[in-house]
Structure 1
């Protein structure tokens, strides 16, 4: 879009010919008057400039010092503390805060004045070089500066709260990965022992088949159970490898590092009064909701600044000049932009629509937060019932297995029957551990949603 500019110049003048001494000095050296102002302006410009410092990109991954060589196993507190310090998500959120601080600093700076210089060289004798110097300032830029400064402050608050929300999530996620890796390590060891037992049973059944002590169906069944056990063990190793790589990534260490982890404390149920109180104050203490509130406040100020930007722009300047007849002039220039075609209406529409979008996003996030808490709470009740049933069945199978082993040692139970009970116990144990892991994941998700630690349920 285009706009019209109106310039108003008021001049006062005097005839320098009445000062022969000054005219003689300027005729001899017309550059004398230029040197000092230009030197001062150059010093000001150079003195306020920032220097360039190169920072080349790395050619290879830069992992932090490995911690897998430590003699003592890492505790859950050590893992969570390191995750908060070295997690890529936390470091990325910290850089966002740094950018917001830089923008806050930039929006707090006053606009620079403008200096215009021009000169004319006469082509006839008896005349002196003419010049014009104008120092101007955009006064209208000060009108929306308070709104832009408030918006920058709100943006900084938003990024700081987003960093806090990231730290919440990383802390609880590190705890969940810690417990998951410890559980998978224990389960993988047990499954490996069971696989070795099933292999021994299958070999013994093959020998018994050669002597016609068992049927071919029984030997084939033993081989099938051994292969199933081996597949289950392989699947657990893959799951454990994935969980360990995810934990290493969260801690910022080499993907292949093998960490020694101490046994974590048993997770306990979240008290219902903690959940109820957290829901009451959810919009007042959960960082992501507070960050959205700050983001909405920022956009509201951007909208205000856009409304202020529809008024005419005003530039005021002071001029000093000399024509070729050596007559000096001093004046005042005023430049006004007429808002006929643009009027900042496009930016106003954009900022208003963006504010509406942020409003809807906050309302939806608030609704989702309450719905998620209620949904996870209901799901946890069902999972706890399933886990209780699975643990009871596991205990019953363990008791039956102990009796079957005793009977087998006494010669009162055949090997295929013992192997069958062993397989059932292994399958049930894996199922119980899977349910326990799912309960833990939902437990951590609920703690993150209501803003308490998954370790001790204290407010984050």
Structure 2
């Protein structure tokens, strides 16, 4: 009866199995496809934080860390041993021996293991926060890139159609000997260059849209309507200086590495405690074949003569040293990356300023040339050539602006500010 009660108690405390079959097809969210209103940058960032595969994987890592922390906090189970002997002679009764034991030494390193599990959980939570930082700024960058490419693709498509019309008119004029063959061939070359530029823009736009759809968890090929984003602003130097001063206390990936180092330090402590003898204590109750009952105490001690947990101590110590080096290197790389991006951003902004000035000058010349062409004071080949130069310069400026935006977003992510408004991101907490 006592054994039956124990068995029922053990079975009653067991977890049940719940099947969860894998899906047969991708499960895309369609709520964004049903809305006709253009998405704002805040809506895109919020959706990315909710549906991004990177964020969801980081959230699952936190769930696993919670489960591990719960598992490491459980007390070890006691051990119940039972044996019986059947006598072969008459006049004797069956003998039995029941022992209830417990590994007392498991309680010695339990606090260190528990602290290690808590540090591991803190590290995963901080890693999730770091992923959210990156995803938020990446969503903003892809949003602005898609809006810019949509506008540039539409403009390039219109100008390419116009240049195709110019090339056709030049071919007709060549047939009537109104223009030279060189002029007609130049118009055809300008048109083909515009076609190539338009094709490259469409490929770049398609790639950017696919990346945005993946980040938002939307079906591939979906064309999202996006509202005009706010213009990015330069990050004040005092914001960069203050962020660098607090980098080790603020950036989640550095805090996650610190939590990982704390975890390993506790595991090293647990390994040191594990070198002491393993102690098992048990209480016995038995009866021999003469019907004499006995009660006793059993003690089992493992003698640390050959192993002594020295191998695990060496492993945990070397791992701690490796994590120490990783943290120092990541901290050095963080400061170097901020300095490098700041310098490169200054160079790119100077190039962009020069490119925009050239674009403005060409736009002014194009407006004057269009007016002269409409008045009949400028030949069609000359007008088409100026228009082609303006298109090429505008594409070059947009590409430079895209590079500036990428560096701006990278800098914001490194120093922990929002790429949308340059406001400091929330302080990372474990």
Is TM-score (shorter-chain normalized) higher than 0.5? yes
The 5 Å alignment of 1:304-383 reads 304-383=269-348
Shift of 1:148: 0.2
Task: Tell me, in whole angstroms, the C-alpha distance in 1 between the residues paired with 2:392 and 2:33.
Answer: 32
Q: Which residue of 2 aligns with 1:180?
A: 145
Unaligned runs of 5+ in 1: 1-35
Q: Return the match for 2:35 from 53, 70, 83.
A: 70
Task: Tell me, in whole angstroms, the C-alpha distance in 2 between the residues paired with 1:422 and 1:69.
Answer: 40
Q: Helix, strand or coil for the counterpart of 1:343? A: coil
Q: Return the match for 2:401 from 436, 447, 451.
A: 436
Q: Helix, strand or coil for the counterpart of 2:302? A: strand
Query: Does 1:389 pair with 2:354?
Result: yes
Task: Tell me, in whole angstroms, the C-alpha distance in 2 between the residues paired with 1:107 and 1:293.
Answer: 20
Q: Return the match for 2:173 from 199, 204, 208.
A: 208
Shift of 1:413: 1.2
Task: Tell me, in whole angstroms, the C-alpha distance in 2 between the residues paired with 1:412 and 1:64.
Answer: 58
Q: Which residue of 1 aligns with 2:66?
A: 101
**TM-score scaled by length of structure 1:** 0.91
Per-residue CA distance 1:338-395 (angstroms, 9 max, x = gap): 1111111111111111101100000000000000111111111111110100000000
Q: Helix, strand or coil for the counterpart of 1:338? A: coil
List, as ranges, runs of 4+ consecutive aligned residues in structure 1 with deviation greater than 6 Å. none
The structure that has the greater radius of gyration is 1
Task: Tell me, in whole angstroms, the C-alpha distance in 2 between the residues paired with 1:262 and 1:444.
Answer: 19
**TM-score scaled by length of structure 2:** 0.98
Shift of 1:405: 1.0
Task: Tell me, in whole angstroms, the C-alpha distance in 2 between the residues paired with 1:69 and 1:98.
Answer: 32
Task: Tell me, in whole angstroms, the C-alpha distance in 1 between the residues paired with 2:294 and 2:182.
Answer: 115
Q: Which residue of 2 aligns with 1:39?
A: 4
Task: Tell me, in whole angstroms, the C-alpha distance in 2 between the residues paired with 1:272 and 1:68.
Answer: 41
Shift of 1:175: 0.4
Q: Which residue of 2 aligns with 1:127?
A: 92
The 5 Å alignment of 1:217-236 reads 217-236=182-201
The structure showing larger relative contact order (alpha-carbon pairs under 8 Å, at least 6 residues apart) is 1
Shift of 1:435: 0.5
Q: Return the match for 1:114 from 79, 89, 98.
A: 79
Conservation of the 8 A alpha-carbon contact between 1:66 and 1:254: no
Query: Does 1:249 pair with 2:214?
Result: yes
Stretch of structure 1 that moved more, 402-411 or 447-456: 402-411
Shift of 1:121: 1.2
Conservation of the 8 A alpha-carbon contact between 1:319 and 1:332: yes
Q: Helix, strand or coil for the counterpart of 1:270? A: coil
Unaligned runs of 5+ in 2: 426-430
Q: Which residue of 2 aligns with 1:404?
A: 369
Conservation of the 8 A alpha-carbon contact between 1:135 and 1:318: yes
The 5 Å alignment of 1:251-290 reads 251-290=216-255
Q: Return the match for 1:195 from 160, 163, 171.
A: 160
Q: Return the match for 2:268 from 303, 311, 333.
A: 303
Shift of 1:68: 2.6
Q: Return the match for 2:21 from 56, 61, 74.
A: 56
Task: Tell me, in whole angstroms, the C-alpha distance in 2 between the residues paired with 1:294 and 1:87.
Answer: 25
Q: Which residue of 2 aligns with 1:141?
A: 106
Q: Which residue of 1 aligns with 2:411?
A: 446
Per-residue CA distance 1:143-180 (angstroms, 9 max, x = gap): 00000000011011101111111110010100000000
Q: Helix, strand or coil for the counterpart of 2:96? A: strand
Task: Tell me, in whole angstroms, the C-alpha distance in 1 between the residues paired with 2:319 and 2:9.
Answer: 40
Shift of 1:406: 1.1
**Number of matched residues?**
425
Shift of 1:399: 0.6
Conservation of the 8 A alpha-carbon contact between 1:68 and 1:260: no
Per-residue CA distance 1:294-318 (angstroms, 9 max, x = gap): 0000000000000100111000000
Per-residue CA distance 1:255-275 (angstroms, 9 max, x = gap): 111100000000010011100
Shift of 1:65: 2.6
